[in-house]
Chain A
Amino acid sequence: MASSQASRANHVLNTVVNAVAPWVNPVIDYHALAPEMVLAAGLCVVLLADLFMDESRKWILSSLAGFTLLGAMLPVLTLGLHDTDVRSMFDGRYVVDNFSLVVKALFLLAGYVVVLLSSNHVEEDEYWRGEYYFLLLSSILGMVMISSSRDLVSIFVALEFLSIPAYMLAAWRKRDIKSNEAGVKYFLLGVFASAVMLYGMSLLYGVANSTLLVDLGKSITATGSLSSLHALGIVFVIVGFAFKVSAVPFHTWAPDTYEGAPAPITAFLSVASKAAGFIALATLLFVAFPQASDVWQPFIWVLSALTMTVGNVVALRQTNIVRMIAYSSVSQGGFVLMPLAVAGINNGGASALRAVVVYMLIYAATNLGMFGVIIAVSRKTRSAEISSWGGLFSYAPGLGALATIFLASLAGIPPLGGWVGKFAAFQSMLTSVSGWGYSLALIGAVNSVVAFGYYGSVMREIWMKPVPDGDTTPIRIPGSLKLALVFTAATTLVLGILPGVAMHFGDIARLTSAFGG
């Protein structure tokens, strides 16, 4: 007995030593890692500058954060123009391909718009600025990393990297009870979700004997039939991400967190954090579980149908605009899940991935713009009630028109961006030529009609209702907010009028057939 234990211990030691012994320095492609390195350097600079700078000059921090994000965009562009399609590092655990580049550009630009939305908002608050931008940049670095991660460990680390700063940002207004509540709810459910996801990952590691996504995929093909451990692991992992993308019934944190968090952070969570969840989910489905579509397809179908419907129905009876947009973003998440639900049928993977990327790009521009308008209007009204928007067009025609553009785009009215996103999603449903696809497309179509109800009610306030308190002084919009509004509105319009542009980005993402794994 004792000797067998000793030999076991020896055996374990040997495996450890053997695994460590042939150490070779990994080849690091510094060009491919440049966006991450610029971000990491930038966030250190922001932190140090905050430490040593005089309080009166801290407004520079927001510009520093903005320049860091734009600086990180440069290597993304040079990588995109370079001939090398796939740069794979660490045995394929960290892959920079066209898909991840498109998504990185989305995160960096969305982050830049959030910095623009934040600069006046944070300035006029009584809270600290340096940590705000530091945490924001850390979270964006996590998102940039997750789009290249092709390994369970790096996906987990990147997911926590983007989530933990976000928990703190949601609770940013320390003395505001609502913000505390937002942070605690987001934190507890987020950590619970990642723990459940980790349990699933541990089961997957157990059956595949590797944490590499490609090896996971191979283990599923090799065994031919799915083992129950596979199925359990896949379901747990999807549940974990369902929390992250606030899919019904795992959405309960979203409305409270969105309402309580500072408005720019709400915009950030509802766009960038959600997109990161979808990107990681798509990577897992396409690289690790393509052979297991029997397990995840019905599950995602149900999630998608529930998410669209419940999000819409609850949004109909909201009186607070932030809460309404929160539920609307839950329901928009259902439309992103929709193509994933048929990704495994009739080689639908390519068009599903394109639909997800196109939808995320357009939704990001539109929703960020909508939050820009909400922030601008609440500078005057100091309220988030929909009724306080009455007669907006009469005293702030610019904001009224922009709000109409963004709301119409969210509702999917041509020729605005949202229409192209919905078109791509429905197209991939119909090309799947299956009952699953047709039935979900029908549910989606009904829901897009229902969504007109609440988007339309805000438009009615803006155009037809009288000004509630008779105060018609025009709204003064600070420069950075104006820039953010112009940028998002232009993107929404251009992507809608020239649908080819958005589809082109979707296609770039699609070209890398196996995610370069």
Chain B
Amino acid sequence: MLVNQFLLLAAVLFCIGVYGVIARKNAVLVLMSIELILNAVNLNFIAFALRNGSTDGHTFALYVIAIAAAEVGVGLGLVLLVYRNRKTISLDDLSEMKG
């Protein structure tokens, strides 16, 4: 059964994604790391759907893909907004408010 390998791959992707969110300072790279996590989730859903022989997982994965697209749309819009006002997308420079 190949399902275990898929789950393992998803777990590795998830960990890389979490590392990326924590370590990266560039807003677009953080966004890409989040996409990695979401794709790990999709892999998980498909693998479990195969193992369980049900279609709920496929449906859920479709929803995740659609909503992830909407999230990226909003996210890139926000990044663009910041770039226009500050000419940088480094998260370290987003420190107007502290405390």
Contacts and interface: CB of A to CB of B under 8 A. Distances in A.
A156 B63 contact: yes
Interface string A154-185: 00110010001001100100110110111111
28 contacts: A157-B63, A160-B70, A160-B71, A175-B85, A178-B97, A180-B78, A180-B82, A180-B94, A181-B82, A181-B96, A182-B97, A184-B94, A188-B21, A188-B30, A188-B31, A191-B34, A195-B37, A195-B38, A196-B37, A198-B38, A198-B64, A199-B41, A205-B60, A206-B48, A209-B48, A209-B52, A209-B54, A259-B97
A160 B7 CA distance: 25
Given A168-B77, A203-B44, A256-B97, 10 more contacts: A15-B55, A171-B81, A174-B81, A177-B85, A180-B94, A184-B27, A188-B27, A192-B37, A202-B10, A209-B48
A78 to B, nearest CB: 31
B59 A153 contact: yes
B21 to A, nearest CB: 5
B67 A260 contact: no
Nearest to B98: A256
A260 B47 CA distance: 42
A153 B47 CA distance: 17
Contact of A177 (B27, B67, B96): B96
Nearest to B14: A199
B41 A192 contact: no
Given A199-B14, A260-B96, A153 B63 contact: yes
Contact of B40 (A168, A178, A199): A199
Interface string B61-99: 001100100110011011101100110000100101101
Contacts of A191: 31, 34, 71, 75
Given A164-B71, A202-B41, A259-B97, A171 B78 contact: yes
B50 interface: yes
A260 B97 contact: yes
Given A202-B45, A255-B97, A210 B27 contact: no
A502 to B, nearest CB: 34
Nearest to A211: B56
Given A153-B63, A157-B67, A181-B96, A167 B44 contact: no
B81 A180 contact: yes
A208 to B, nearest CB: 9
Contacts of A168: 74, 77-78
B96 A205 contact: no
B51 A206 contact: yes
Contacts of B75: 187-188, 191
Contact of B50 (A12, A255, A256, A260): A12
A1 interface: no
Contacts of A255: 97, 99
Contacts of A203: 44
B85 A205 contact: no
A160 B67 contact: yes
A212 B38 CA distance: 21
Contacts of B86: 177, 180
Contacts of B14: 199
Interface string B1-26: 00000010010001001100100000
* Closest 8 A/B residue pairs (Cβ): A206-B48, A202-B44, A195-B37, A209-B52, A198-B41, A19-B55, A256-B97, A181-B94
A305 interface: no
Most buried by B among A178, A209, A260: A209
Contacts of B64: 156, 198
Contacts of B34: 188, 191-192, 195
Contact of A202 (B48, B54, B71, B97): B48
